Amino acid sequence: MKPISIAIVAASLAALAIAEPGLVAQRGPVDTGPGTLAAARKYLEGRWRLLSFEVTPEGKEPIRVLGAGTLIYDGFGNLTVEIRVDRATAAMLEANGIQTDKGVLSTRGRTAVDLQSRTLTYTLEGQAPLGAPSGPLALNRPRHWQVEGNVLTVTTKNDQGQNVSVGKWEKAP
């Protein structure tokens, strides 16, 4: 299509929208008060400091992860989690099928917030959000979140509804 034809089509559509306002989709105001999706996203936004993290491999005792970590949730729904562990903790995790990258556990991706079930679900580019889970930290498992004061608890559950990871985070100043 030639540039002049594109301009004519665009002008025609604009004129139609003015002449027939019912054809233009009307959007209502975005709910922004307490208990809304916008308020939940705004609360989650920012940098969080790791208070505690525990992983429970299937059929085994929980592993208390010793280390330091940050969780960053931005205004576009991107969630980055990075936890640096000592060698002993990394070895224990790896012995239970949870890989680290030189002592670093990390996840990164865009998330969808479900306010009713209070979950965050990763949506990874080029990958289906719901596939076969692979271990307790699989990115296709929703992260359940709960807020108590300035502490955010993020929990991952297995198919039977049991906790397989629990992280407690405090909002960084």
- pLDDT tens per residue, range 31-65: 556 678 888 888 889 999 999 999 998 888 999 99
For residue 6, the Cα-to-chain-centroid distance in whole angstroms is 40
**Mean pLDDT score, 26-31:** 49
Compute how many other C-beta atoms are within 10 angstroms of the C-beta atom of residue 119: 19
CA–CA distance, 45 with 71 (Å, rounded to integer): 10
Please give the helix or strand (H or E) that residue 141 lies within, else none: none
CA–CA distance, 26 with 76 (Å, rounded to integer): 24
What ranges do the domains of the chain cover? 37-171
Confidence (pLDDT) at 68: 96
- pLDDT tens per residue, range 102-132: 999 988 888 888 888 888 888 765 555 555 4
CATH topology of domain 37-171: Lipocalin (2.40.128)
